[in-house]
Structure 1
């Protein structure tokens, strides 16, 4: 059975939750030999599809994405070996995308639990871009369900203090395996990563995801698939190297924590 990683943030629109999980999943797929799936809980809209250059389900018809799997689930035809027929390929044999839908009538919490059960049987690793906060039952259930939760925080002292003081720390994360990412990290901006680790987090691992204008540009042009492919096939030093190295550190920790590092990394 595969493992589920949920990428989440206590704040909306500040912590690069979607771009972080997209970058980590893309890097992981081109570094390790495991088969991964990436999906999201924002059924009506998410930037996840566009980051990988994909479109929403309604523009593709009804033969792919969450809506197609929902119809199978309701008919009791949803099996693990059928999941891949309804996803889109990002990196062949390494990373697939399960797209969303614009059908707002979907029974989101129940559907996602069914989907996670079958996708975990079909893939080694399932990355889920979860809706920020815990007002919705879906996010709460996903945080409880996850094998590992990625908590995304901006490099903002107030947000960081709020989270670690307990005001932004949901009960669903207690006793969970979590890691904390400081998004779009700039070493010239305070608080620095050493300060954050020493002052705020003695229990949970904290990692920076370095800011990269190249990745930002690729996100804005919906071309991160090509960006990571170029990086994986380049032996030259790149301007994006600091960003890639920060992802590599996080993914190495994830692979070890989830016991997914038994398969050697690809040669760089």
Structure 2
């Protein structure tokens, strides 16, 4: 049985929730041998498919993605071995993309649970880019069902304080495995990560995802698949090394927390 990681934010459009989970999933896939799936339940327009250079909803319609699995589920034909037939390959044998949906069918608890069950049976790791906030029943159920929740926060003092004060902390997160990410982190901007950690990391682990103009350029040109492939096959110093290093730290934490085998051992 695989594990589900849900990427979520209490605020809309500020915390790079989609780009963070896309970067982490791509980096994880090229670092570890586990087979991963990434999808979204945004219910509104999502950039997840286009980040990987895939436009599944527009190009393939109902022949792929969550909506295809929904039709199989309603016909009682949905099995774990069928899931891969409705995905797009990002990195062969490592990462597949399941196109998301903008309809409201996932608000049905039984359907959501069935989809999670079959995808977890088909893959070692399922990354889900969830709709921000708590108005969506789907997001709340995903938070409850997740093996680990990534909470994405902007480098904004008000949002950070509001979340840790409990005002932005939904009850679904109580007792869950949580990792807090400070998105698009700039070391020259306050609040700095050292202060955030001193104040809040006793409650939950806090990590920065360093800002990278190179990653942003690749995102805007729908080229992060190629970007991470180049990174994985380069032995030279990279201009995005700070960004990659921050992803490495988070993914090592995730692998350890979910008891996943680490492929590259650190030197003793």
The TM-score normalised by the length of structure 2 is 0.95
CA contact (8 A) 2:43 2:131 kept: no
Q: How many angstroms apart in 2 are the aligned matches of 1:148 and 1:124?
A: 14
The CA deviation at 1:266 is 8.9
Once the two structures are superposed, the pairs formed by residues 223-242 of structure 1 within 5 Å of their partners are 223-242=223-242
Alignment correspondent of 1:16: 16
Alignment partners' CA distance in 1, 2:249 and 2:23: 13
Provide the rounded CA distance (Å) in 1 between the counterparts of 2:107 and 2:90.
24
**Counterparts in 2 of 1:45 and 1:112: CA distance versus 1, 3 Å:** farther
**Which segments of 5 or more consecutive residues in structure 2 lack a partner in the other structure?**
none
Q: Give the 5 Å matches for 1:181-192.
A: 181-192=181-192
Question: Which SS does the other structure have where 2:28 is aligned?
Answer: helix
SS of corresponding position for 1:62: helix
Cα displacement (A) at 1:210: 0.2
Q: CA deviation at 1:201?
A: 3.2
Match of 2:74 in 1: 74
Matches within 5 A, 1:93-132: 93-102=93-102, 104=103, 106-110=105-109, 111-132=111-132
Q: Pairwise mapping of residues 173-252 of structure 1 onto structure 2 (< 5 A)?
A: 173-252=173-252
Task: Say what the alpha-carbon RMSD is for the aligned residues.
Answer: 1.4
CA 1:232–1:176 in structure 2 vs 1: closer, same or farther (change >3 Å)?
same
The within-5 A match list for 1:28-39 is 28-39=28-39
Q: Which runs of 5+ in 1 are unaligned?
A: none
Contact 2:255 2:262 in 1 (8 A): no
**Structure-2 separation of matches of 1:109 and 1:46:** 21
Post-superposition Cα deviations, 1:222-257, rounded to whole Å, max 9, x if no partner, equal 000000000000111010000000000000000000
Note if contact 1:185-1:210 (Cα within 8 Å) is conserved in structure 2: yes
Aligned partner of residue 117 in structure 1, secondary structure: helix
Secondary structure at the aligned position of 2:62 is classed as coil
Deviation string 1:21-78 (CA, Å, 9 cap, x unpaired) is 0000000000000000000012442110010011142421322111111110001100
Query: 1:168 — aligned with what?
Result: 168
Partner of 1:3: 3
Other structure's SS at 1:18 match? helix
